[in-house]
Structure 1
Amino acid sequence: MALLRRPTGPPPALEEISMKEENLCQAFSDALLCKIEDIDQEDWENPQLCSDYVKDIYQYLRQLEVLQSINPHFLDGREINGRMRAILVDWLVQVHSKFRLLQETLYMCIAVMDRFLQVQLVSRKKLQLVGITALLLASKYEEMFSPNIEDFVYITDNAYTSSQIREMETLILKELKFELGRPLPLHFLRRASKAGENLKQQYYTGYTENELLEVMQHMAKNVVKVNENLTKFIAIKNKYASSKLLKISTIPQLNSKAIQELASPLMGRS
């Protein structure tokens, strides 16, 4: 019988957290030397902004993001593929808008859905059930008043019953061990937006511009594909074309040369 050997080092996830902590500490040291502006200094009167603890909170969120990470290839070898997921997400965006839910609810819905699909084999017939149940769970977590379960049955054109949604809700919660509080992109976006200019952004986000380049390229590629009608998934563009959201998807900057150049390496263009 082969002897079991005790691991000689920390788990990979913990190593990555340690490296990120070192980077953040270095960024904090650099900021003190350069006298970076404290963007939380004037928030002390607002208890909801937690100005005394906000830096610790975001450092914890970064750690949690690594621990709850989603494998980029989590659908490989599954009955569900990326296109099916894209169709579902496009539909969920429309449902989210119809119910007039918070932005956080949509982000949490997608996170819950992907985390569940990563650990549980799901058939095509139940993919929409997973999506709509994830939206129900996110609504209960984020909203003051969540839509009724009957509303979710109706929005699927009675493809599923209330009992089926409740059963899926129980299954998702068990698989995720009731750990729904995943850091959302919106949390970090608000922090980065508050920081503003380059040096402050690097300090408060912990990322350099070069580290963000690959993500920026993928985002630019998606913008170009939508603007050039190279995809059928346009629910996001339609959503952000509304006056309520300042018609942000219609601004001319999204058709600029800078966006085209960012996207070109991923679109096979010189």
Structure 2
Amino acid sequence: MALLRRPTGPAHPEEDISTKEESLCQAFSDALLCKMEDIDNEDWENPQLCSDYVKDIYQYLRQLEVLQSINPHFLDGREINGRMRAILVDWLVQVHSKFRLLQETLYMCVAIMDRFLQVQPVSRKKLQLVGITALLLASKYEEMFSPNIEDFVYITDNAYTSSQIREMETLILKELKFELGRPLPLHFLRRASKAGENLKQQYYTGYTENEVLDVMQHMAKNVVKVNENLTKFIAVKNKYASSKLLKISTIPQLNSKAIQELATPLMGRS
């Protein structure tokens, strides 16, 4: 009924129109919120889904994400560069698959590694040690049964001893103040997938399409580089080419025009 009420605002026509538009926009927003489907409504019988608290949990995760953010240029001026990190991550993906660990473990491993490298200068000789120790820590945090430390020594071809891994484990824990729990991409991906449609995704993730466009372009660029053999880092593609993961990296949509157009601004192509 408020929309039908005659406005009693300013005398100037331009201001009057502006007031009307603001009222209409607000009313439309309120209507959307009232009619927005509650994607957690049917989860009340499953205590693991925490339907009573899930919205507060994700709001907290968004805050924690900011507090534990990684500086995009955190390797600038360091002995370690982005290519070295990429080589390490590609190898860690293979190790993760060989050990058959949870997806959360891989995401946490990379997060621990990056957070440590951001605050602690590391030499080239110890970069792999940091990576494998981060995987050990993530395994202890996420897995029901973590691989033994001897397994991590073996997978590095005895490049490091168990004592060195334990020493690095202690150093990482001290630098991160034992704060390992953090929001992972997988957490937000599951939430966005559950929302499904564009409007619901925007509401439940808090991001508009324009706000995630840069990330989409970088992801598309990486997909194109892998598909056109422009990179040696193909562990992720090989991993998701398995039937266990539905061969998702081989679907034709990854070679679609939409992906090509998203990647174009970052590929130096016209």
Distance of aligned partners of 1:52 and 1:253 in 2 relative to their CA distance in 1, 3 Å threshold: same
Counterpart of 1:160?
Answer: 160
Distance in 1 (CA, whole Å) between partners of 2:46 and 2:33 is 28
Counterpart of 1:13?
Answer: 13
Distance of aligned partners of 1:51 and 1:79 in 2 relative to their CA distance in 1, 3 Å threshold: same
Deviation, 1:182, is: 1.1
Q: Deviations over 1:76-126 (max 9, x none)?
A: 000000000000000000000000000000000000000000000100000
Distance in 2 (CA, whole Å) between partners of 1:220 and 1:27 is 37
Distance in 1 (CA, whole Å) between partners of 2:218 and 2:121 is 28
Segment drifting more, 17-26 vs 66-75? 17-26
Q: Deviations over 1:177-234 (max 9, x none)?
A: 0000110000000000000001100000000000010000000000000000000000
Distance of aligned partners of 1:13 and 1:223 in 2 relative to their CA distance in 1, 3 Å threshold: farther
Distance of aligned partners of 1:102 and 1:20 in 2 relative to their CA distance in 1, 3 Å threshold: farther
Distance of aligned partners of 1:126 and 1:34 in 2 relative to their CA distance in 1, 3 Å threshold: same
Q: Decide whether the 8 Å contact of 1:41 with 1:51 is kept in 2.
A: yes
- Paired residue secondary structure (1:111): helix
Distance of aligned partners of 1:67 and 1:11 in 2 relative to their CA distance in 1, 3 Å threshold: farther
Q: Deviations over 1:37-72 (max 9, x none)?
A: 000000000000000000000000000000000000
Counterpart of 2:94?
Answer: 94
Distance in 2 (CA, whole Å) between partners of 1:219 and 1:99 is 26
Flag structure 1 segments of 5+ consecutive residues without an equivalent. none
Distance in 1 (CA, whole Å) between partners of 2:106 and 2:98 is 12
Distance of aligned partners of 1:37 and 1:24 in 2 relative to their CA distance in 1, 3 Å threshold: farther
Aligned residues: 270
Q: Which has the higher contact order (CA 8 A, sep 6+)?
A: 1
Distance of aligned partners of 1:231 and 1:2 in 2 relative to their CA distance in 1, 3 Å threshold: farther
Q: Decide whether the 8 Å contact of 2:10 with 2:16 is kept in 1.
A: no
Q: Give identity over the alignment, percent.
A: 94
Q: Decide whether the 8 Å contact of 1:227 with 1:255 is kept in 2.
A: yes
Segment drifting more, 34-43 vs 182-191? 34-43
- Paired residue secondary structure (2:42): helix
Distance in 1 (CA, whole Å) between partners of 2:118 and 2:10 is 24
Distance of aligned partners of 1:2 and 1:158 in 2 relative to their CA distance in 1, 3 Å threshold: farther
Q: Decide whether the 8 Å contact of 1:27 with 1:203 is kept in 2.
A: no
Distance in 1 (CA, whole Å) between partners of 2:180 and 2:20 is 23
Deviation, 1:10, is: 36
Q: Decide whether the 8 Å contact of 2:101 with 2:143 is kept in 1.
A: yes
Distance in 2 (CA, whole Å) between partners of 1:62 and 1:52 is 18
Q: Decide whether the 8 Å contact of 2:9 with 2:19 is kept in 1.
A: no
Counterpart of 1:221?
Answer: 221
Q: Deviations over 1:161-190 (max 9, x none)?
A: 000000000000000000001100000000
Distance of aligned partners of 1:134 and 1:222 in 2 relative to their CA distance in 1, 3 Å threshold: same
Flag structure 2 segments of 5+ consecutive residues without an equivalent. none
Q: Deviations over 1:146-173 (max 9, x none)?
A: 0000000000000000000000000000
TM-score of the superposed pair, with normalisation by structure 2: 0.89
Q: Decide whether the 8 Å contact of 1:31 with 1:203 is kept in 2.
A: no
Distance in 2 (CA, whole Å) between partners of 1:10 and 1:162 is 76
Q: Deviations over 1:233-269 (max 9, x none)?
A: 0000000000000000000000000000000000011
Deviation, 1:33, is: 3.7
Distance in 2 (CA, whole Å) between partners of 1:7 and 1:118 is 56
Distance of aligned partners of 1:45 and 1:8 in 2 relative to their CA distance in 1, 3 Å threshold: same
1:188 paired to 2:205: no
Distance in 1 (CA, whole Å) between partners of 2:15 and 2:124 is 37
Q: Deviations over 1:11-38 (max 9, x none)?
A: 9999999999999999996475451100
